[in-house]
C-alpha cells in the first residue's frame, strides 16, 4: 500500500506504538516503508531523507562482493563434504608450536624487558622501520593496510588471489604504527606476560576482512566447536569438542564459550604469526641475546618495568588510544571512561541549549552556519538555485531543525549517560556472578541491548546528517548537482558531478566519506575501524581536513563517542558474541521499545514553522542579533546589545509558544527536569562611571533566573525598562529569593540575583569561598581572556588553541583529543566531579573572542570559575 498523506503515516505510527512487541516485530519493515513513502508526501517538511534508518531494517538487495571474495580465495571454508578428519592432529601441532613460542617470548621479555625498552627508544624512527623489515620482510607500510588494499583492488584481482593477504589477517602489524616509540613495547609486554587465550577472540576481531562471515562457515563442521577461553596448556588450547546435535554446538558458540572450527583455525594461524614476529623483533633489538638456555627456561626473570601507559596523561589522542588497542591486553569494559565521555558530551549540549537562549551572537552564528549546510543551496544540473534557497521556507526549516536536533540530541545523550550508569551499578551488584565460563546476568544483558539500540539509532541519524551536511557544505557544494530540479518533493537528492576526480585531496576525502556513509563498508570493516581511518586521514592531511567544516567535524565528534561505546561492547568477550546474536535476533523488538520511549518527541517533531513569522524573528541577516561585546562600552553599544538580547528573547518566546500551541509542549518542556536551572545574563542600562583597575564598576550585568518548571515565556519576555541595576547585598538577595537547583520550583518572574548568590544556590563556591588556583603567566593570560568583563579596561582578543590547552592542563585537567573537533578534559589533580568538552577552532588555531567568552561562561557554570579564581604562581 502506497502512503500518500501525512495523516495516514501518523495513524499508522500511532497504531504501531500501541502494538505488542511481537506484533511490532512483525511489521517493523512496513513501518520503515511507510516512513520512506512519507519522504515524498510532504513538500513542506524537512528534506533530509532517512536512508540510513530505512536500510537498517530494509537493506537494499545488492550482491555482497565481500562474501563472494571468500568463496574464491584459498584458505576459506572447506568444501561441504570435508568434515573434521585430521583436524585434531592439526590443532595439536599448532597449539604445541604456539606455546613454545609464547614461553620463549616470556623468557626473553621477562629477563630483558628493561634493556629492550632502552635500546628501542634510542633508535630513530628510520632505524625502527629497518628493524621491523628485518623481522617481517613483507610488512605493510601504512595504518590499516587491509582497508586500503581492499578498496584499491578490483573484484577481478581479488578473485585471482591464491591466499588471504597477511595485511588482512593481522592489519595492526605495520610500519606506520609499530615504528612509533611505544606500540611495539606495549605489544611485547602484553604478549609475553599473558597467555594466548586472553587474546584469542580479539585477534580474530581485529581482522574483520580475514574473519570468515557466518554465512560462509563450513556446514559440515556445525556439530563441532573449538574451546580457547581459560585453556592454558597445549593439550587443551583450541580443543575440538564434538556435540550430539547442532543445537548444542550452536548454543555454545552463541554464548561465546566456543567458536566454529573454521574460526578456531583462523585464531591459531593468526597467533602463530604474531609470537614468532615478536621473537624476531627481540633478537633484532638484542643481537647479543644469550642463546644457551633451554627453550622456555626463565633467564634471570626481572621485575616488570613501570607501565608504559600513564593513568592520567596530560595530553592524549583518542586516535592514538585506538591505534594502541590491538597491542594491549584486552581488558574488561571501562564503563567509567564511557560514562565520562557521554556525560561530557551531554553537558556540552546542555550548555549549547542555554547559549542559544542567552547569547545573540551565538544564535546568529549557528543559524548562518546551519543554513550554509542545507541541500537547498546545491545548484541543479543547469546551474540554477533551488526555489527555497532564500526566503521564509529555508529559514523556517533551519530554525525548526536547529531547535529539535539540539534538544533531541541532548535527550539522547542524557539517556546514554543514564544507561551506562545503570549498567555500571548492575556490574558492581553482580560482580561475583560475572565469570567467563558463565552467561551474563539477564539484567545486564537487557541493559546492554537497550544501550546498543539507542546508540545505533543515534549513529544512523548522525550519519544521515553528516552526509547531507558535507555534500551541501561550502567547500564541497560545487562538486554536486541537485536532482529533479522541477520536483515538488521535499526530498532533495544530489549527485556527484565528478569534478573532484583526478584531485588527490578530493579523492582521499571522498574515500573516507564513502567508508563512513555506506552501510556495507561499515559492516565489512566495523564502524570503529572506519572512524579510526577517517580520523587518521584528517590528522595526517590538513588539505583533506580543510574540506570538512567545523559543523561537519562536530558531527564526527559525536560519532566518535558512539564508536567508542559500540567498540567496547564488541570487545566485551566472551559475552559479546551472545549479545550480538540476541540483538540481531530481537532487533525489531528492541526498536519497538526504543520507539515507545522516543514517542515523547512525536508531536514536537511533526511541528513545522511554515506559515508563521518565526523565520523573520529568527533571521539574523537584518543584523538584529548583532551583539558588540568586543567594542568599547558606550551608550550606543550598550543599547545595541540590549536590543539584540530582547530580539533573541522575543524569538524564543514565540518559538516556545508555537510548539506548545501545535504539539502541546515545547522541546524545553520535555527536558526541563534534566536540563537543570540556569541564569540568563542580560546587559543592564549604560552607566556613566568609568571603570578602573582598582575600583569595581557600579553597573553590573543582570542575571535573570529561569527555575526548572517555570514558564519560559515569563522570563524570556522580560521588560528591560524595569530591570534593577547596581550593587546588591548578597545576604539580602539570597534571603528574598529562595531558589532551588533540584526538583520543580515555583515560577519566579524577573528574579535578580548577584553572581555570588547564583554560585551558592547552584552548589558552587562563592568568590569568597573559592580557593585561588596558582597558574603560570601564560595560563593566567588565557583565563583573563576567557572571563573578560565588558567593563574591564583590558583589551579583549583571540586565544591561541595551544595556549588554551596549556591553561586547562595547568588548572588540573588532562586533555584528550577525540575524533572530529572535540577535546575531552578530565580532572586530574583538581577537586571536580565532572569532565568537560570543547571544540577546537577550525580552520585556524585561535579561539575568536566570542568563542573564548562562551568557553569562559561554560567553565563558570561547570566549576564556578571566574577571573578571580586564578592567581600567578
Q: What is the DSSP string of 831-861?
A: S-S--EEEEPPSSSSEE-HHHHHHHHHHHHH
Strand partners, 823: 817, 838
State the helix-helix crossing angle for 849-863 and 335-358, rounded to 10 degrees: 120
Pairing of strands 836-839, 822-827: antiparallel
Place of cell 512483525: 26
Query: DSSP for 500-563?
Result: TTT-HHHHHHHHHHHHHH-HHHHHHH-HHHHHHHHHHHHHH-HHHHTTS-HHHHHHHHHHHHHH
Report whether 206 contacts 525 (CB < 8 A). no
CA 479 – CA 548 distance, rounded (Å): 14
Check: CB of residue 222 under 8 Å from CB of residue 249. Answer: yes
Written as one string, the DSSP assignment of 272-319 is HHHHHHHHHHHHHH-TT----SPTT--SS--PPPPPSS-SS-SEEEHH
Sign of CA dihedral 323, 329, 331, 336: negative
From first CA to last CA, the distance across the chain in angstroms is 73
Q: Which of 501, 515, 333 is CA-nearest to residue 420?
A: 333
Run of H or E including 827: strand 822-827
pLDDT for 311 equals 55
Closest CA to 274 of 346, 326, 330, 226: 326
State how far the Cα of 581 lies from the Cα of 525, in Å rounded to an integer.
19
- What pLDDT is stored for residue 274 in this prediction? 96
> Are the C-beta atoms of 39 and 1 separated by less than 8 Å?
no
pLDDT digits (tens, 9 = 90+) for 110-125: 888 999 999 999 999 9
Q: How far is CA 817 from the centre of its chain?
A: 12
Q: How far is CA 684 from CA 623, 632, 637, 645, 788, in A?
A: 21, 15, 12, 11, 17
Spatial distance between the Cα atoms of 203 and 211, rounded to a whole number of angstroms: 10
Q: Which residue's C-alpha cell is 597445549?
A: 234
pTM reported for the whole predicted model: 0.79
Q: C-alpha cell of 413?
A: 545523550
836-839 and 799-800 beta bridge pairing: unpaired
Spatial separation of the C-alpha atoms in residues 775 and 198, rounded to whole Å: 45
Report the distance separating Cα 256 and Cα 227, nearest Å.
10
> How do 678-682 and 822-827 pair as beta strands?
unpaired
Query: How far apart are alpha carbons 604 and 661 in whole angstroms?
Result: 10
Q: Which residues lie below 8 Å from residue 684, measured CB to CB, with a gap of 6+?
A: 699, 700, 701, 702, 723, 725
| Cell numbers describing residue 321 | 588510544
**ω before 574 within 30° of 0 (cis)?**
yes
Enumerate the H helices of 728-848 as residue ranges.
730-736, 755-761, 777-786, 801-810
State the DSSP code for 380: B
Give pLDDT, residue 231. Answer: 92
Give CA separation, 29 vs 10, 17, 60, 74, 344, in Å: 16, 14, 12, 38, 35
Asked if 614 and 651 count as a contact pair (C-beta separation under 8 A), the reply is yes
Can you point out the beta strands (E) in 115-194?
none
Q: What is the CA radius of gyration of the chain?
A: 30
Grid coordinates standing for 589?
523488538
pLDDT for residue 30: 57
Cell numbers given for 484: 529533479
Three cell numbers at 772?
585561588
What residues contact 219, with CB distance under 8 A and at least 6 apart?
Answer: 80
Main-chain phi, psi angles of 230, to 5 degrees? 75, 5
Write out the DSSP string of 14-38. HHHHHS-HHHHHHHHHHHHHHHHHH
| CB 817 within 8 Å of CB 539 | no
Q: How far is CA 793 from the centre of its chain?
A: 41
How confident is the model at residue 487, as a pLDDT? 53
Residue-level pLDDT at 216: 86
* Helix locations, 664-744, DSSP H: 667-675, 712-716, 730-736
Spans of all domains in the chain: 1-42, 87-290, 335-605, 676-763, 773-872
Q: How far apart are CA 702 and CA 723, in angstroms?
A: 8
Q: Quick one: cell of 281?
A: 623483533
SS3 for 692-715 is CCCCCCCCCCEEEEECCCCCHHHH
Whole-number Å distance between alpha carbons of 253 and 226? 9
Question: Which cell is 591 given?
Answer: 526498536
**What is the pLDDT, as a whole number, of residue 748?**
31
Q: Which residues are 259's β-sheet partners?
A: 226
Single out the residue of 673, 645, 720 nearest to residue 356, CA to CA. Answer: 645
Residue 262 · residue 219 · CB < 8 Å: no
| Successive 10-residue mean pLDDT values, the chain, 873 residues | 47 63 61 48 41 58 47 42 76 95 93 92 94 94 87 67 80 94 93 93 91 87 92 94 92 89 95 96 86 47 72 66 85 79 90 93 95 91 84 93 96 95 90 81 91 93 92 91 64 75 86 88 88 88 91 93 90 84 84 86 91 94 90 87 95 96 95 86 76 43 40 42 34 33 33 37 47 84 79 67 88 82 80 79 81 86 84 81
Helix (H) or strand (E) holding 315: strand 315-317
Q: State the Cα–Cα distance between residues 103 and 266, nearest whole angstrom.
A: 21
Amino acid at each position: 500500500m502506497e502512503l500518500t498523506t501525512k495523516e495516514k503515516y501518523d495513524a499508522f505510527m500511532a497504531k504501531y506504538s500501541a502494538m505488542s512487541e511481537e506484533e511490532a516485530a512483525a511489521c517493523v519493515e512496513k513501518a520503515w516503508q511507510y516512513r520512506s513513502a512519507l519522504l515524498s508526501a510532504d513538500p513542506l517538511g524537512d528534506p533530509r531523507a532517512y536512508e540510513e534508518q530505512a536500510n537498517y531494517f530494509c537493506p537494499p538487495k545488492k550482491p555482497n562482493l565481500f562474501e563472494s571474495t571468500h568463496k574464491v580465495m584459498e584458505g576459506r571454508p572447506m568444501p561441504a563434504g570435508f568434515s573434521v578428519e585430521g583436524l585434531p592432529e592439526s590443532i595439536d601441532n599448532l597449539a604445541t608450536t604456539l606455546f613454545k613460542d609464547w614461553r620463549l617470548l616470556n623468557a626473553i621479555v621477562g629477563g630483558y624487558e628493561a634493556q629492550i625498552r632502552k635500546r628501542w627508544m634510542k633508535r630513530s624512527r628510520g632505524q625502527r622501520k629497518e628493524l621491523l623489515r628485518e623481522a617481517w620482510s613483507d610488512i605493510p607500510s601504512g595504518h590499516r593496510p587491509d582497508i586500503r588494499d581492499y578498496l584499491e583492488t578490483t573484484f577481478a584481482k581479488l578473485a585471482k588471489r591464491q591466499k588471504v593477504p597477511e595485511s588482512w589477517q593481522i592489519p595492526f602489524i605495520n610500519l606506520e604504527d609499530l615504528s612509533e616509540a611505544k606500540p611495539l613495547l606495549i605489544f611485547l609486554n602484553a604478549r609475553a606476560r599473558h597467555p594466548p587465550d586472553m587474546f584469542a577472540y580479539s585477534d580474530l576481531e581485529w581482522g574483520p576482512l580475514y574473519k570468515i562471515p557466518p554465512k560462509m562457515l563450513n556446514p559440515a563442521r556445525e556439530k563441532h566447536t573449538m574451546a580457547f577461553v581459560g585453556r592454558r596448556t597445549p593439550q587443551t588450547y583450541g580443543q575440538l569438542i564434538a556435540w550430539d546435535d547442532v543445537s548444542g554446538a550452536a548454543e555454545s558458540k552463541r554464548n561465546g564459550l566456543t567458536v566454529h572450527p573454521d574460526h578456531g583455525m583462523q585464531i591459531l594461524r593468526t597467533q602463530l604469526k604474531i609470537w614468532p614476529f615478536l621473537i624476531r623483533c627481540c633478537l633484532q633489538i638484542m643481537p647479543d641475546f644469550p642463546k644457551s638456555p633451554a627453550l622456555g627456561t626463565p633467564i634471570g626473570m626481572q621485575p616488570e618495568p613501570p607501565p608504559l601507559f600513564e593513568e592520567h596523561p596530560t595530553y592524549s589522542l583518542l586516535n592514538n588510544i585506538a591505534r594502541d588497542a590491538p597491542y594491549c591486553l584486552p581488558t574488561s569494559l571501562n564503563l567509567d571512561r564511557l560514562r565520562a565521555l557521554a556525560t561530557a558530551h551531554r553537558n556540552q549540549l546542555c550548555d549549547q541549549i542555554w547559549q542559544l537562549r542567552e547569547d545573540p551572537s551565538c544564535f546568529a552564528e549557528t543559524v548562518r552556519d546551519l543554513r550554509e549546510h542545507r541541500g537547498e543551496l546545491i545548484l541543479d544540473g543547469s546551474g540554477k538555485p533551488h526555489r527555497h534557497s532564500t526566503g521564509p521556507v529555508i529559514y523556517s526549516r533551519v530554525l525548526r531543525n536547529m531547535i529539535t536536533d539540539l534538544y533531541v540530541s541532548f535527550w539522547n545523550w542524557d539517556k546514554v549517560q543514564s544507561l551506562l550508569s545503570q549498567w555500571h551499578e548492575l556490574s558492581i551488584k553482580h560482580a561475583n556472578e560475572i565469570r567467563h565460563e558463565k552467561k551474563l546476568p539477564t539484567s545486564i544483558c537487557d541493559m546492554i541491548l537497550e544501550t546498543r539500540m539507542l546508540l545505533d539509532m543515534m549513529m544512523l541519524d548522525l550519519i544521515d546528517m553528516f552526509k547531507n551536511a558535507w555534500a551541501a557544505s561550502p567547500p564541497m557544494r560545487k562538486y554536486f548537482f541537485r536532482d529533479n530540479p522541477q520536483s515538488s518533493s521535499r526530498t532533495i537528492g544530489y549527485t556527484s558531478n565528478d569534478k573532484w576526480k583526478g584531485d588527490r585531496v578530493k579523492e582521499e576525502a571522498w574515500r573516507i566519506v564513502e567508508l563512513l556513509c555506506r552501510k556495507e563498508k561499515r559492516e565489512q570493516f566495523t564502524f570503529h575501524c572506519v572512524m579510526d581511518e577517517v580520523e587518521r586521514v584528517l590528522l595526517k592531511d590538513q588539505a583533506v581536513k580543510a574540506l570538512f567544516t567545523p559543523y561537519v567535524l562536530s558531527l564526527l565528534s559525536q560519532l566518535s563517542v558512539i564508536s567508542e561505546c559500540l567498540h567496547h561492547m564488541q570487545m566485551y568477550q566472551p559475552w559479546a558474541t551472545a549479545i550480538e546474536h540476541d540483538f540481531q535476533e530481537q532487533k525489531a523488538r528492541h526498536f519497538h521499545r526504543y520507539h515507545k520511549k522516543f514517542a515523547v518527541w512525536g508531536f514536537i517533531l511533526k511541528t513545522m514553522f511554515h506559515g508563521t513569522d518565526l523565520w523573520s524573528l529568527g533571521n539574523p541577516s537584518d543584523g538584529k542579533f548583532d551583539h558588540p561585546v568586543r567594542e568599547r562600552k558606550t551608550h550606543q553599544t550598550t543599547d545595541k546589545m540590549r536590543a539584540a538580547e530582547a530580539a533573541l528573547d522575543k524569538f524564543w518566546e514565540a518559538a516556545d509558544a508555537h510548539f506548545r500551541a501545535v504539539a502541546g509542549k515545547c522541546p524545553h518542556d520535555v527536558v526541563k527536569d534534566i536540563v537543570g536551572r540556569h541564569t540568563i545574563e542580560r546587559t543592564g542600562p549604560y552607566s556613566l562611571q568609568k571603570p578602573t583597575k582598582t575600583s569595581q564598576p557600579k553597573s553590573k550585568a543582570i542575571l535573570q533566573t529561569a527555575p526548572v518548571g517555570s514558564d519560559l515565556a515569563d522570563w524570556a519576555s522580560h521588560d528591560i525598562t524595569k530591570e534593577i541595576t547596581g550593587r546588591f547585598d548578597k545576604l539580602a538577595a539570597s534571603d528574598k529569593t529562595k531558589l532551588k537547583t533540584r526538583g520543580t520550583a515555583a515560577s519566579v518572574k524577573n528574579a535578580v540575583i548577584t553572581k555570588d548568590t547564583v554560585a551558592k544556590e547552584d552548589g558552587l563556591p562563592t568568590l569568597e569561598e573559592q580557593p585561588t588556583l596558582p597558574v603560570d603567566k601564560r595560563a593566567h593570560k588565557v583565563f583573563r581572556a576567557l572571563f573578560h568583563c565588558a567593563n574591564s579596561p583590558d583589551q579583549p582578543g583571540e586565544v591561541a588553541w595551544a595556549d588554551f590547552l596549556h591553561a586547562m592542563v595547568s588548572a588540573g585537567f588532562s586533555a584528550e583529543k577525540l575524533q572530529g573537533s572535540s577535546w575531552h578534559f578530565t580532572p586530574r589533580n583538581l577537586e571536580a566531579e565532572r569532565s568537560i568538552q570543547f571544540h577546537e577552532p577550525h580552520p585556524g588555531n585561535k579561539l575568536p573572542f566570542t568563542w573564548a567568552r562562551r568557553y569562559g561562561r561554560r567553565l563558570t557554570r561547570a566549576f564556578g570559575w571566574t577571573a578571580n579564581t586564578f592567581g600567578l604562581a
